[in-house]
Structures are given as structure tokens and as C-alpha cells.
Amino acid sequence: MELMKLEIVTPEGVIFDDEIKQVTVPGGEGEFGVLAGHAAIVSLLASGVITIERKDGREVQVAINGGYIKVEEEKTLCMVDGAVALSGEDTNLAKNIALAKDLLEKAQASTLTVAAAVSKFDNIKK
Amino acid sequence: MANLKDIKRKISSVKGTQKTTRAMKLVSSAKLKRAEEVAKRSKVYSVKLTELLNEIAQKISQGNEEGIDNVFFKENKNPKNVDVVFVTSDKGLCGGFNSQTIKRASQVMESFGSDVKVRLSGVGKKGIAFFKYNQVEMLNQIDDLSSKPNYERSTELISSLVEDYVNGKTDKIILIHNGYVNMIMQKIHEQQLLPVDTSKLEITKSVAMSELEIEPDDDDTLLDALVKKYIDYTMYYALLDSLAAEHSARMQAMDAATNNAGDMVKSLQVKYNKARQEAITTELIEIISGMESLK
């Protein structure tokens, strides 16, 4: 599978910069997935969860509170206001999930978004 | 003899000052490191955001000849109301750091004719104190923000100004701050926040540009959100940059003060030695002349 570069930048710095297989983001007009070779697009991001499939197949979830995404053929850039990363092998996962939930709630996400996000987090635990 | 004691007292007082300035220098250099780190990390975001704004602006301006038809980009040739925002430090003892910013802010204010109404907003106690003393009216006076940059509070300030701009109350927003260059250099930055200065946007021609899709389709929604974000962030970054510059300026000032105190101690020590020698000589002459008279 072809890989592409993903960068996630927050005002506090770069939090993710690696080659990945696929990323799914909560676009302003609905969720969409990006694979390598995707057409160039710039979109608003709503608050929600970014799901990243890493090159080794592991999944990482990043809760965000809105921002922008710029997709180019080789490279994808997400600029978000705030982010909390969650992955299966994290030792203090429970604490991070609480942080992520807090972030989403503060971003005035609808209860539906929070609920959808929480169910995604629950999947990580399993 | 009293002279000797005086000099000694002076020396110890100067030495005390030297100790203080040296400590302040150390504190500043530690704080500078932290502030520099924060500013550096935030720079990535700021650079990428500017890039993104450039691309979108270009994409939109490709369609129409007269430039971008958006309230944030329309240049008003005869501004009637201008907002000037300056950032200074909350604390002094940092050399010419604040006076440079204040000078530039005054210059900018004077550069507009008398028919232009200038509103001044200040961040940082030192600048506010100056303009207050000179009885210049200020719209916003914000303390304790430049020493502890805070995204929410900086957004609060700037978004109220942006709102006035959107509602047509003001035609221009200018931001002035003293930025960090390196350990021994600071540079005054004067930015025009609104309208966004399209002449300064770099033109990068990439093939993908023409095929760039924008979602939501409505250009304005994305552009508005992006410009607002850009302004909020530029303001916040100005605070971070200013804080780093403040610490580097203070470090420099305190270093100079420590050196000057050292020079002063040296010259006082020479004076002290001379005075002591003089005292000894006088005493000797007294003893010898006393012995002579006994003969």
C-alpha cells in the first residue's frame, strides 16, 4: 500500500509527523478519508476525532477541537487548535481519554459528536 | 579618615547592586530559554497558517481580476478610523526595549493626518503607563498579558477589534511589537493585520493549485474562518515573540549593569587605596615631626 506523509500541527507545536497509510478526518461537511494520491483539497475541520492508520497497521486516534486540513498528493497537513492523541499501547490511556472528552466538550461539540468519539475511544481499549 | 569609611561603604553598596543585577541576568537567561522554546514551537503553526492563507487567497483571486472580494481584503484607500495595538512588557529594567516600541507607536499615530481617528490599544504596563502619563486616550488597557501570554485573553482583545472592523467602525488594524531576533538583538515589527496585505503575500505557483478544491464550497466561509484564525494567532505569536525579546533585552541590560558595577568597584577601590596611602603618609609625617621636635 502506498504511503503518504501526515503532519498535525497545533499552536503548541508539531504533534505528529510520519508516513501513514490512511487518515480519516471530521470535515466541516462530514467525515472523509484520505489515502495517498488524494486530490488537492482544503477543508474546514469540525471538532471530533482524527483516525490515523500507521504504516505498521496500528491505529492512532487524535481528538481535535476544530481546524483546517490541506491535502496535497504526497502530503497532508492538519492544523488544529487543540489535540489529544490516544493509542492502544498508551499507559495512561484512561487519563488521556478523559482529557480528550474534556477537549471536545469545551469545543461545544454536539452531544452526538462527543458520543461518537467516546465510542471510538472505547474501541481502542479492546 | 571619614573619607575612607565613606568609600568603603560605597564599594559594598555597589557590590550589592552588582549581585542583584547578576542574579537578574541569570533569571532572565533561564526565562529566555523557555520563552524562546515556546516561540520556536509556535512558529511552525504560524508559518503553516500564513502559507495556507496565501494559497487560498491566490486560489480565490485567480477567479476575479479586481482582487479578492472579501471584507478582510478590501483596502480602504482613505482610512478614517484606525486601530493601533502595541505590545510592551509589564516590567522594566530591560534597556530600551519598551521605549523603542512606544516611540514607534507614537510615530505611527502621528503619521496619520488629523482627519483620521486613531484608537490605541495597549498590552503591557509599561506602554500603558507612558501613554496614560501623556494623556493619550486608550481603548483597551491590558495588564499581565505580555508577561504571561494566554491565547484566550489575546483572542478576546483582538476579536473585539476585528468585530469593529467587520461592522465598518474601523478601516485598519496595525499591530506593533518588539520581536526577538537573537540573544543580543530585538527588532520592532509593525504589521498591518487588517485588511490583509495582499501585496505581501508570496506568489507560489504550484500545479496542484488550480485543481485545489475547497470545502465548504462557499469561499467566504472558509476564508473568513481562516483570516480570523490568522489574526488571532498573529496576535498571540506577537505576545510570545515580545516576551522572548523582553527577556533577551533584560539579559543584555543586566549584563551591562553588572559590568558597569564592576568598573565602578574598581575605580572606587583605587580611590580607597589612594586615600589610605594618604592617611598613612600624613600619620608618618606627624610621628617624624613629633620626634624631631623632641630632639
ipTM of this predicted structure: 0.77
Q: What residue spans in chain B does CATH classification 1.10.287.80 cover?
A: 2-25+253-294
Q: Which residue of B has its CA nearest to A27?
A: B215
pLDDT at B65 over 70: no
Percent of chain B past pLDDT 70, that is, above it, reads 89
Chain B partners within 8 Å of A10 (Cβ):
45
Q: What is the pLDDT of residue B207?
A: 44
Q: Across all residues in chain B, what is the average pLDDT? A: 86
Which residue bears the cell 490599544? B121
What span, in angstroms and rounded, lies between the C-alpha atoms of B248 and B13?
A: 26
Are residues B236 and A11, on separate chains, in Cβ contact within 8 Å?
yes
Alpha helices in chain B (DSSP H): 2-63, 97-111, 125-133, 151-166, 219-294
Q: Judge: domain B32-251, CATH 3.40.50.10860.
A: no
Chain B partners within 8 Å of A39 (Cβ):
211, 213
Grid cell locating A98: 478523559
Name every residue whose Cβ is closer than 8 Å to that of residue A98 and which is 6 or more positions away in sequence: none
What span, in angstroms and rounded, lies between the C-alpha atoms of B236 and B230?
A: 10
Q: Which residue of A has its CA nearest to B208?
A: A40
Q: What is the pLDDT of residue B201?
A: 61
pLDDT at B28 over 90: yes
Residue with more model confidence, A94 or B200? A94
pLDDT at B209 over 70: no
Q: What is the 3-state secondary structure (H, E, C) of A37-61?
A: CCCCEEEEEEEEEEEEEECCCCEEE
pLDDT lower than 70: segments of chain A:
88-91, 108-110, 124-126
Q: Name residues 201-220 of chain B within 8 A of A (Cβ).
A: 208-209, 211-216
Domain of A46, CATH number, reads 2.60.15.10
For residue A11, whether the previous peptide bond is cis, meaning omega lies within 30 degrees of 0, is no
Look at phi and psi of residue B11 and say left if phi exceeds 0, alpha if psi is from -120 to 50, else beta.
alpha
Domain that holds residue A46: 4-125
**Which range scores top for mean pLDDT: A47-56, B11-20, B58-67?**
B11-20
- Facing residue for B211 by CB, picked from A27, A39, A43: A39
Helix or strand run (H / E) with residue A83? strand A83-87
Which residue bears the cell 502595541? B86
pLDDT at B203 over 60: no
Q: What is the pLDDT of residue B223?
A: 80
Q: What is the pLDDT of residue A13?
A: 81
Q: What is the pLDDT of residue B63?
A: 59
What span, in angstroms and rounded, lies between the C-alpha atoms of B150 and B70?
A: 29
Look at phi and psi of residue B156 and say left if phi exceeds 0, alpha if psi is from -120 to 50, else beta.
alpha
Residue with more model confidence, B1 or B140? B140
According to CATH, the topology of domain B2-25+253-294 is: Helix Hairpins (1.10.287)
What span, in angstroms and rounded, lies between the C-alpha atoms of B211 and B232?
A: 29
Interface test with B, best of A15, A25, A44, A64 (most B CBs within 10 A): A44
**Residue B183: φ, ψ to 5°:** -55, -30
Q: What is the pLDDT of residue B249?
A: 94
Q: Does B108 touch chain A (CB under 8 A)?
A: no
